Structure formats: structure tokens, C-alpha cells
Chains A and B, each alone.
Chain A
Amino acid sequence: MLSIKNVSTFIEGKKIIHDVSLHIKPGEIVGLIGPNGAGKTTFMKTILGLTKFTGDISIDEQSVTENNHQALRKVGALIEHPAIYPFLTGRQNLLLYSESNSDLEEIISTLKMEKFIDKKSKDYSLGMKQKLGIGIALLNNPEFVILDEPMNGLDIESTIMIRDVIRKYAEQGCMFLISSHILGELQKVMTQVVLLRSGRIILNRSMSSLNQDSSKKYFVQMDKINLVEDLLNHNNIQNQRVGEYLEIDAQNIDLMQNLVFQNGLYLTRLEPEKLNLEEKIVRILSDKEGSNNEE
């Protein structure tokens, strides 16, 4: 288990990460999102003991410090861009860090790198370099993997494959912390979402809870829609006509249903508003800002 307690990071005396706490359990895939300059990469580097920080970071109850990386023995990472030596072949790059030959061969076949692995990596495309960088991170059966923008430069086929590989490793108990600016891509794999802004975690939610509670509106379809619209307006129930539908706040849905049935009308369709991850997060943030302003 990864445990981060009250961590603050300092770069050249400036505080970049502010009192952040985060826990990741085995098998969890945490998506780290945030605008440019939010501190995502610095946060990832901090976990790897590459920056000056205060607070506690531990992996399986073993502390990570700037000068002691023993706890990182079972950690793999891809930070910023793939860390590969251009004068080495892909295989030689992997061999530098590999502890077992069978594991190395498995990584090569899992990431479908057989065709180019024995060529000099200076001739690789961005996608090939990215795959090799991910391969290095996944070497030696890691317990925790940090991936910074892993889908950069990958084609659709490779993106799907990497997604499957991440799921497979997570099923085996590996923890992931993945940052990406492609939210839709993250949404397909992550089990938890963490939003970082100005070095602070402003949202930390499981994907299941995010999916459950974020529908604030419902769309209603019925035969005599004009009649229903008048009825709702007459009873001061806020609604909005959107084509063949009426948009109604979730809090008014029971009230609306009672009115409709009492007046002998029937609903033909009632469905919650479907938001993508980006829209859900924007909504949560605007709610948060609203409640902060009220305070």
C-alpha cells in the first residue's frame, strides 16, 4: 500500500506541493489530473524521492526519503518522457534494469515490441519510445507503477493494448498512479480520480462514487409534453424544454412524477443526464467553489 501523509514539496525554496495526503491500495488505478503547472509531475517525482519534501511517504510501510530509495525497489516509473539511451537497442535498455530474462521476454511480447526491440532506440518513433519507456516501468513485477502521460504518441491499437496491460497488472495487485491530459482515456482504466490544482488535492473520489452521485438532472419524455410543462410551471417546478424532452432537477423528480400520475398522464422515458468525466469534474468543482464562496 502506498501512503502519503501531509507531503509538501519544495523546489528552490518554493513550495510546489501543499500538504498532500493520498493512499493507494493494491489493485487500485489512480488517475492524477489537473491543469498544466498544477504540480502533477513534481508530485510524482516526490513519491520517487527525487525532490526535497516534508511529510511521510511509505510503500508497504517502508519509508521513502530523498536519500533512501530502498522502498522503491518494487516501483516502476515513466516520468515526463521515456528515459532511454539512444545508442542502445530496446533490449539493451531493458537489460540495464531487468532482474530476470523471462520477465524481460514477457514484457517484450506483452507490449508487442518484438519487431523493433533489437534496433537502436535512436531510430524509434515516439510511440515505440513510449512503449519501451512503459516496458522499463513494468520490469521486475512492480508493486507500484507511476506513469506520466503514458498514452503520448501511441496509436489507437497501442493505446487499447496499454490500457489492457494496465488492467492486467492491476488485477494482479499492482498499484498505479497515472497522469494524463486525455481524461476520456483515463476514465476507461482508473478506479479513483485525484484532481490536483496549484499543488493541492481538491478532489479525491472513487470512480464508482463519481458515477453514482453526479446526475443532478433528469430528462423526461411523454406524450402530452406541453400539458406537463404547463402543469410543472403552474406548481413552480423548475424545468426546461429541450426538444422533445423536459429537463428537470433531480431533487424535483419525485414531485414531478406524483403530479404526472395524479393528472392521469404517463411518462414514456425518464433518464438521468449522462455526463462525461470532464463535465462531472467541472460540475463538482463549480459546486465546491460555490460552497466555498457561501462560507
Chain B
Amino acid sequence: MRNNLYQEMKKFWYQKKPLWGILILFILMYYSLVTSHHNERDVIQLFGASQWTLIILVTISSAFMTMEYRDNTIVTMLYKSSNRFNIYFSKIIVLVLYSVLLSFCGVIFTILEAAFSHQLLTVNVLRALLFNTFGTLLYSVFIVTLSLLLISLVKIDAIVIVIGLMLGFLGATFSNILMSLFHTWSRAIRWNPLNMIYVINQLSDPKYFKYSSLSNLELVLGTVSYAIIFLIIGYWTFKKRLV
């Protein structure tokens, strides 16, 4: 496991894509800053960093797995590793660590951009910002496990990226449509995976409850449970995949 983690870390950083991801995050957050109304809400929502982080994560996660099949390196990885779980789990750990780094960069960029736009960072704003970051981190684990599951199933990173983008931009809307269309089953439908995206904003802003219909604790538990389910199914699919 230690060897696998070491290898994955090295491969990940030598790719340069992660550095590009951080740069793109900064550019997109700056774009949000210049096009926003410069209010407190923008700071709490990290100038859209949560959404951008998810898109960057989906893109990098899917590429991080597909390269192994494209370059035939999966063969060496598989026989050199004592079992397949170590490979799969190491990739997830590296990607989750990257999401932590992206979130950290998101917070730093937010503070810099807030200072740049002369916005006051009160204790309440900072607390809300940190809750938002925690929510983003939780949802990042959900997205990473889902991306690796999808790549094990469909094998084409472009499809996984499209699904990721749809989740990022349309997931919440689609979940709301589902709940309003099937109102009588809403107690069950509110647990659908698309609804978990509210974990990003609801932890800092309880008003989102009217959209998610789940309490904060339920959202956290739901997100973690889905991440575990995706991890198990993803690993099972990866294990069965032919090389």
C-alpha cells in the first residue's frame, strides 16, 4: 500500500495537470470576482470555488485513471502490486488529498480576492466560509469516488467529464424537479445522490434546507454513505475489468 501511494503521488505531481488545475481555479475565481456584485455571499461561497473545484476534480480524476489503460501501465501496476484494492484506494487517497489542496487554495484565493475588493472578513463570514469549504471537501470525496466508478464502467474519460459537468451544474436543479414531480415520494427521493450537492452550501446557510429537504447531519451522512457505496462498486468494477 505504501509503495502504491508513493507511486501514485509521484505520477500525479509529475503530470503537471494538478498545477494547471490550481491555476485554472484561480483564473475562474478571479472571473467570478470581476463579474460578481462584491457581496458577502460571494465570499462565503468562495467566489464559486466549490463548483470549479468539482469540475477540475472530475477532469483530473478521470484522466488519472484512463492514462493507465491508454499507456498500458496498468499491466505493470497490477502485477507489481500485491492486490488491486491497493491501486484503486491509493488513487482515491491521492485525489482526495488534491481536493484538500484545491480547497485550501480556494480559501487562500478567496481571502486575497476579498482583500483586493475591499470586503471585510468578519468572524461570521470566515466561519461560514470554512463550513462551505468543509462541505466542498465532503462532496469532493463523493465526486472522486463517483468519477473512478464511472471510468471503471464506461472507460472513456470524455463521458465521465460530461457526466461530472452535468452533476456540477444541473444536479441540484434535476433533483428539485424530481422532488416536485413526485411529491408523494419526496421522503424517499430526497435521498437521491443528486441531492447531496446541497452539502456544499447548506452547512453554511441553513436556508438551503427548503431545496434539499435533508438536515445537515442527514446530508453529511448521505454524502459519506454514497462515497462508500461508489468506492465499493467502483473497486468491484475495477477488479473485474480485463487488462
Q: Which residues of A contact B (CB under 8 A)?
A: 11-12, 45, 48-51, 67-70, 72, 75, 77, 79-88, 92, 95-97, 136
* B81 beta carbon closer than 8 Å to chain A: yes
When A50-B243, A92-B14 are in contact, do A84 and B82 touch as well, CB less than 8 Å? Answer: no
Q: Which residues of chain A come closer than 8 Å to B73, judged between CB atoms?
A: 83-85
B residues 41-86 near A (Cβ < 8 Å) are 67, 71-76, 78-84
Q: Which of B14, B72, B74, B242 contacts A88 (CB under 8 A)?
A: B14
B75 touches A11 (CB 8 A): no
Q: Which residues of chain B come closer than 8 Å to A49, judged between CB atoms?
A: 78-79
Q: Which of A67, A68, A136 contacts B76 (CB under 8 A)?
A: A136
Q: Is the interface of A mostly helix, strand, loop or mixed?
A: loop
* B183 beta carbon closer than 8 Å to chain A: no
Q: Which residues of chain B come closer than 8 Å to A70, judged between CB atoms?
A: 82
- In whole angstroms, how far apart are the Cα atoms of A97 and B81 in the complex? 10
* B16 beta carbon closer than 8 Å to chain A: yes
Residue on A nearest B80 in the bound complex, by CB: A97
A87 touches B16 (CB 8 A): yes
The number of residue pairs between A and B whose CB atoms lie closer than 8 Å in the complex comes to 66
Q: Which residues of chain B come closer than 8 Å to A136, judged between CB atoms?
A: 76
Please give the distance in Å from B213's CB to the nearest CB on chain A.
42
Q: Which of B67, B75, B82 contacts A85 (CB under 8 A)?
A: B67
- In whole angstroms, how far apart are the Cα atoms of A190 and B84 in the complex? 33
Q: Which residues of B contact A (CB under 8 A)?
A: 7, 10-11, 14-16, 67, 71-76, 78-84, 242-243
A48 touches B75 (CB 8 A): yes
- Between-chain CB contacts (< 8 Å), 24 pairs: A12-B242, A45-B75, A48-B78, A50-B243, A67-B83, A68-B82, A69-B78, A69-B79, A69-B81, A69-B82, A70-B82, A75-B79, A77-B79, A80-B75, A83-B71, A83-B74, A85-B11, A85-B71, A88-B11, A92-B10, A95-B10, A96-B7, A96-B10, A97-B7
- In whole angstroms, how far apart are the Cα atoms of A97 and B11 in the complex? 12
- In whole angstroms, how far apart are the Cα atoms of A81 and B11 in the complex? 20
Q: Which residues of chain B come closer than 8 Å to A75, judged between CB atoms?
A: 79
- In whole angstroms, how far apart are the Cα atoms of A48 and B242 in the complex? 13
- In whole angstroms, how far apart are the Cα atoms of A81 and B81 in the complex? 19
- In whole angstroms, how far apart are the Cα atoms of A40 and B75 in the complex? 15
A84 touches B71 (CB 8 A): yes
- In whole angstroms, how far apart are the Cα atoms of A238 and B82 in the complex? 62
- In whole angstroms, how far apart are the Cα atoms of A98 and B146 in the complex? 32
Please give the distance in Å from B71's CB to the nearest CB on chain A.
6
8 closest A-B pairs by CB: A48-B79, A83-B76, A83-B73, A83-B72, A79-B75, A96-B7, A69-B82, A72-B79
Q: Which residues of chain B come closer than 8 Å to A80, judged between CB atoms?
A: 72, 75
B79 touches A67 (CB 8 A): no
| Besides A51-B242, A96-B11, 19 other A-B contacts (C-beta < 8 A) | A48-B75, A67-B83, A67-B84, A69-B78, A69-B80, A72-B79, A77-B75, A77-B76, A80-B72, A82-B72, A83-B71, A83-B76, A84-B73, A85-B11, A86-B71, A87-B16, A88-B14, A95-B10, A97-B7
- In whole angstroms, how far apart are the Cα atoms of A69 and B75 in the complex? 13
